[in-house]
């Protein structure tokens, strides 16, 4: 993956905007108020860390795995599925933020480069004085400018290639994450269905034995 040079100007532009958005009188007052420091209220913090009793969930009519080992496998698969979904959401958010930042830096660099640069032929000590330049000096200045323009174009091409690679990598990871999520979901569903079938089979065998016992007693 390529890299894009970030100057102090880029950093200050991003930092200044983030600072102005975050450090506001409203946010400062909200922080002190949320911690119960301003308008002293310690109970406000204590209420947040108190453990409240959980409301018991309603019992489901769906059959569940009957063995401890089966229940453990099902629980582990579901935990992996949930964890995988959380990691996919986090990685996608990080890639989105990085991609947005790279685009902003690239657009900012392009804006500054479009302003152009003087050939450097004028005398810096007497800028208003009439200047006469030899053909050799003019040719040298044009070559230096052409060299500079080629370097700028090469850097812009490298930045564009880096952005394309980033987009491709983001799409590849998103597709891989979707496949993993679908695979885990299907595996969990198959395990649930298998455990339900096994449970149903156990119930049928139990009923068959009960009927056999009743017939035996009737004889």
Q: Give the tens place of pLDDT for each residue, 23-38.
A: 888 888 887 777 777 6
The 10 Å CB-count burial string (b at 16+, else e) for 199-216 is: beeeeeeeeeeeeeeeee
Torsion of CA 170, 176, 180, 185, to 10 degrees: 80
Q: Which residue has the higher pLDDT, 121 or 17?
A: 17
| pLDDT higher than threshold 50 for residue 60 | no
Report the distance separating Cα 197 and Cα 189, nearest Å: 12
Averaged pLDDT for residues 15-27:
85
Q: How many CB atoms lie within 10 A of CB 102?
A: 19
pLDDT at 59 over 80: no
Using 50, 70 and 90 to split pLDDT, how confident is the model at 141? confident
Region of poorest pLDDT, from 32-46, 108-122, 185-199: 108-122
pLDDT over threshold 50, residue 62: no
CA distance 12 to 20: 12
CA distances from 139 to 56, 88, 121, 144 (A): 85, 56, 11, 9
């Amino acid at each position: 993956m390529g890299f894009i040079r970030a100057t102090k100007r880029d950093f200050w532009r991003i930092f200044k905007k983030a600072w102005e958005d975050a450090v506001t009188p409203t946010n400062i007052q909200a922080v002190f108020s949320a911690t119960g420091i301003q308008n002293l209220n310690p109970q406000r913090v204590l209420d947040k860390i108190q453990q409240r009793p959980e409301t018991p969930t309603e019992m489901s009519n769906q059959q569940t795995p009957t063995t401890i080992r089966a229940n453990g496998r099902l629980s582990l698969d579901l935990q992996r599925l949930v964890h995988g979904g959380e990691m996919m959401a986090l990685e996608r958010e990080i890639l989105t933020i990085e991609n947005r930042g790279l685009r902003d830096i690239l657009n900012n660099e392009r804006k500054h480069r479009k302003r152009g640069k003087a050939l450097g032929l004028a005398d810096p000590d007497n800028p208003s004085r009439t200047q006469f330049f030899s053909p050799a000096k003019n040719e040298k200045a044009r070559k230096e400018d052409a060299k500079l323009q080629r370097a700028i174009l090469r850097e812009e091409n490298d930045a564009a290639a880096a952005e394309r690679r980033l987009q491709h990598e983001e799409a590849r990871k998103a597709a891989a994450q979707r496949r993993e999520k679908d695979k885990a979901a299907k595996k969990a569903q198959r395990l649930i269905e298998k455990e339900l079938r096994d449970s149903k089979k156990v119930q049928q065998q139990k009923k068959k034995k009960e009927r056999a016992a009743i017939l035996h007693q009737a004889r």
